[in-house]
Amino acid sequence: MIKRLEWPLFLLAVLSLATGSIFLYFHHSITAEWLWAIGGVAGLVPSILWVIDSIRKRDYGADILAVLSLVGTLATKNMLAAAIISLMLSTGRILESWASGHAERELKSLLSRVPRISHLISDDGSFLDIIVAEIRQDHRLLIKSGEVVPVDGFLRTIATLDESALTGEPLPITRDAGEFISSGILNAGANFEMLASNDAASSTYAGIIRLVEKAQAASSPAVRMANTWAIRFIPIALLMGIGTLILTRDISRMVAVFVTATPCPLILAVPIAVVSGMSRAAKIGVVIKGGAVLEQLANAEVVMLDKTGTLTHGGPSVMEILSDPQTSPEEILQIAASIDQHSNHVIARAIVQAALERALPLVAASEVNEVHGVGVSARINGIPHEIGQFTINPTWLKKSFPLMVGVSRNGVLIGVIGMADPIRAEALEVLTKLRKANIRRTFLVTGDRLESAQEIAKQVGITDIHASVSSQGKLDLVEEVKRQTRGSVIFIGDGINDAPALAAASVGIAMGARGASAASESADVVIVEDSIGKLADVIDIARLSHRKALQSAQVGMGLSLLAMIAAGLGFLTASVGAGVQELIDVIAIFWALTTLKK
């Protein structure tokens, strides 16, 4: 309700200033004063509400000085000054609202991961779509290819699953009938059936969401720079104003002091510098959810990174193709991609993508038959081929990969496609930039195996490694590091299991390109483009914006202090003081806008 007062106040302030100035031009000074008074009163009412709201939240700031200025100008009938203060106050509020609203609009474009509809298998074998909240224990469910598992349960058929969002394991895993699976993982293969072991509210996914809510509730909001400066400035302004009244017995001088003490550089220039920084971040594909987040980014001291989907791409990629002496690697990949283009399996899609990247033409395949969990068979030019698992290791196969796909012709293995979750090309450069940017410590925190974590950490130069860590473990680690750190602790990840840590960190950064909304919604920053390279860039932008905001505040409030002294000595009236304050605002705002310069 209080936030909705910003635009009406802005419109009333503009209207009262404009119409009052027109009437003054035609020598109707009394009417002009009344119109300006309307603008001043329009600013006073929401200002009082904002102050009450701030006191309730123990977030004391610049609004207190605005109320003092408005009360003083209205009491001494300096209506023009009151209308100007109302305009400046509403403009600052609108800037802050725009920044938050812009971030929310950007986030709505991200894909939602939370499953909402599930497919219930009736006793007669028919399917019924129900909302996830209606799922009960022992319900038979059909999970279609590409869907997220809505509840915990037991498989009734074999399934290929992408568990990276929960466990950090980057490669698809085949699970047999009877195995237990958790909610929140992705069906990376064909449709499968499962038996629900509980309802949605009791599922693994719901438990992680509750951890997120708990972490968010426990995280105290950061104190904004503008409010920090205002808290320091308020006693100075009060002492100078009251001291002027005691020494001169002239209430108009005290009002002039309060008018020139109006913290417009804080109300306007600081938000402009912050919004400019958020705008620059948005242009490189990074959404920052508010000015306080940007200020926390500027104070980054520790960075904690997830592995799968953050330092690595988060899925299988073709690393190398091995073949017998009679067959070229290109032919092996061409055969595999020509057959796998008929499959929706995540590994098949990666193989097809690799062939397309190498500009290999795909050929026609007939009699395609996919055996779930085993592979795909087909005929090419009438000759039978099989893609998938293999049991015999020929002498030419001298390397091993985390995932190996065999290619056979007439039952004979002719090639192997080695696959893994590759490290991002920009990862090493980012870690180097972070160290140069005075990031004191970097951690690798993952749910994946220690051996896999150590291999990635070695490539990027990270020595603090925490592997096989659960959602609760990541949350506990973040809270422990925060207690040991004076600056901000940044956590960056992309999975459901990262969401509690993202919410608890000083700044949580989500890799949002893959649409993991549990991470995106609990994070303070979302990297929309799929590149960890944006991490170092956005920290640089935050520090530039923070530096410009600080300089604007220092220059603006320093000039305001000189104006207050002049007003106390009688050199400035309240109306002239309002004009001087406007000039100070222009200087501070101009400097804040240099944040946009490249």
In a domain, 181, yes or no: yes
- Name the percent of the chain lying above pLDDT 90: 19
pLDDT digits (tens, 9 = 90+) for 379-406: 999 999 999 888 888 889 888 888 899 9
466 and 330 assigned to the same domain? no
Cα separations (Å) of 40 from 37, 69, 80, 575? 5, 10, 8, 13
Show the tokens assigned to 102: 């812009």
Contacts 24+ apart (CB under 8 A), 475-480: 475/211, 475/215, 475/500, 475/501, 475/504, 477/304, 477/443, 477/445, 477/501, 478/304, 478/504, 478/505, 479/504
CA 598, CA 595: separation in Å to the nearest integer? Answer: 8
325 and 399 assigned to the same domain? yes
**Segment among 178-192, 321-335, 352-366 with least mean pLDDT:** 178-192
Question: End of a domain among 420, 453, 471?
Answer: 420
Top-ranked range on mean pLDDT: pick from 76-80, 101-105, 238-242, 297-301: 297-301
| Residue 466, pLDDT score | 93
In a domain, 87, yes or no: no
Show the tokens assigned to 527: 């990297």
| Residue 103, pLDDT score | 40
Q: State mean pLDDT over 165-174.
A: 71
366 and 302 assigned to the same domain? no
In a domain, 88, yes or no: no
| Residue 408, pLDDT score | 94
Averaged pLDDT of the chain = 81
In a domain, 128, yes or no: yes
Of 263, 264, 297, 265, the closest CA to residue 278 belongs to 297
First to last CA, the chain: 38
Cα separations (Å) of 135 from 113, 146, 150, 195, 201? 18, 20, 9, 10, 9
460 and 521 assigned to the same domain? yes
Show the tokens assigned to 475: 């949350």
Confidence at 546, pLDDT banded by 50, 70, 90:
confident
Of 156, 157, 121, the closest CA to residue 139 belongs to 121
CATH of the domain at 498: 3.40.50.1000
User: Contact at 8 Å (CB) between 351 and 404?
Assistant: no
Q: Are strands 441-445 and 464-466 parallel, antiparallel or unpaired?
A: parallel
pLDDT digits (tens, 9 = 90+) for 348-391: 889 999 999 999 999 999 999 988 767 899 999 999 999 988 88
Number of CB atoms found within 10 A of residue 104's CB: 11
506 and 464 assigned to the same domain? yes
CATH of the domain at 342: 3.40.1110.10
Of 100, 89, 96, the closest CA to residue 49 belongs to 89
Cα separations (Å) of 261 from 309, 491, 562? 50, 40, 10
445 and 460 assigned to the same domain? yes
Q: State mean pLDDT over 280-295.
A: 78
Question: End of a domain among 540, 566, 588?
Answer: 540
CA 241, CA 244: separation in Å to the nearest integer? Answer: 5
Q: Is the pLDDT of residue 227 over 70?
A: no
Of 94, 531, 534, 542, the closest CA to residue 278 belongs to 542
User: Contact at 8 Å (CB) between 517 and 490?
Assistant: no
In a domain, 292, yes or no: yes
pLDDT digits (tens, 9 = 90+) for 135-147: 898 899 999 988 8
Cα Rg of the chain (Å, integer): 31
In a domain, 308, yes or no: yes
169 and 191 assigned to the same domain? yes
Name the burial class of residue 282, with classes exposed (0-12), middle (13-18) and buried (19+) by CB atoms within 10 angstroms of its CB. middle
Complete DSSP assignment for 377-435: EEEETTEEEEEE------TT-----SEEEEEEETTEEEEEEEEE-PBPTTHHHHHHHHH
pLDDT digits (tens, 9 = 90+) for 495-512: 667 878 888 898 888 876
Q: How many CA atoms lie within 13 A of 532 on its CB side?
A: 29
Please say whether the dihedral angle defined by the alpha carbons of residues 455, 460, 464 and 465, taken in this order, is positive or negative.
Answer: negative
434 and 524 assigned to the same domain? yes
H or E segment and range at residue 87 = helix 79-108
Question: End of a domain among 420, 435, 462?
Answer: 420
173 and 196 assigned to the same domain? yes
In a domain, 143, yes or no: yes
Q: Is the pLDDT of residue 325 over 80?
A: yes
Confidence at 220, pLDDT banded by 50, 70, 90:
very low
Q: Is the pLDDT of residue 237 over 70?
A: yes
**Segment among 25-39, 252-266, 515-529 with least mean pLDDT:** 515-529
H or E segment and range at residue 362 = none
In a domain, 489, yes or no: yes
pLDDT digits (tens, 9 = 90+) for 198-218: 887 777 666 665 555 554 444
Domain count, the chain: 3
What is the 8-class DSSP label of residue 199?
A: -
Show the tokens assigned to 297: 């980014």
Cα separations (Å) of 317 from 115, 350, 515, 531? 27, 6, 20, 16
pLDDT digits (tens, 9 = 90+) for 57-66: 666 556 676 7
CATH of the domain at 143: 2.70.150.10
Which residues does 140 contact at the CB level (< 8 Å), separation at least 6?
120, 121, 156, 193, 194, 195, 196
368 and 413 assigned to the same domain? yes
- Name the percent of the chain lying above pLDDT 70: 83
Of residues 113 and 5, the one with the higher pLDDT is 5
Confidence at 265, pLDDT banded by 50, 70, 90:
low
Domain extent for 362? 317-420
Say whether 466 sits in a helix, a strand or coil.
strand
429 and 293 assigned to the same domain? yes
396 and 473 assigned to the same domain? no
Say whether 186 sits in a helix, a strand or coil.
strand
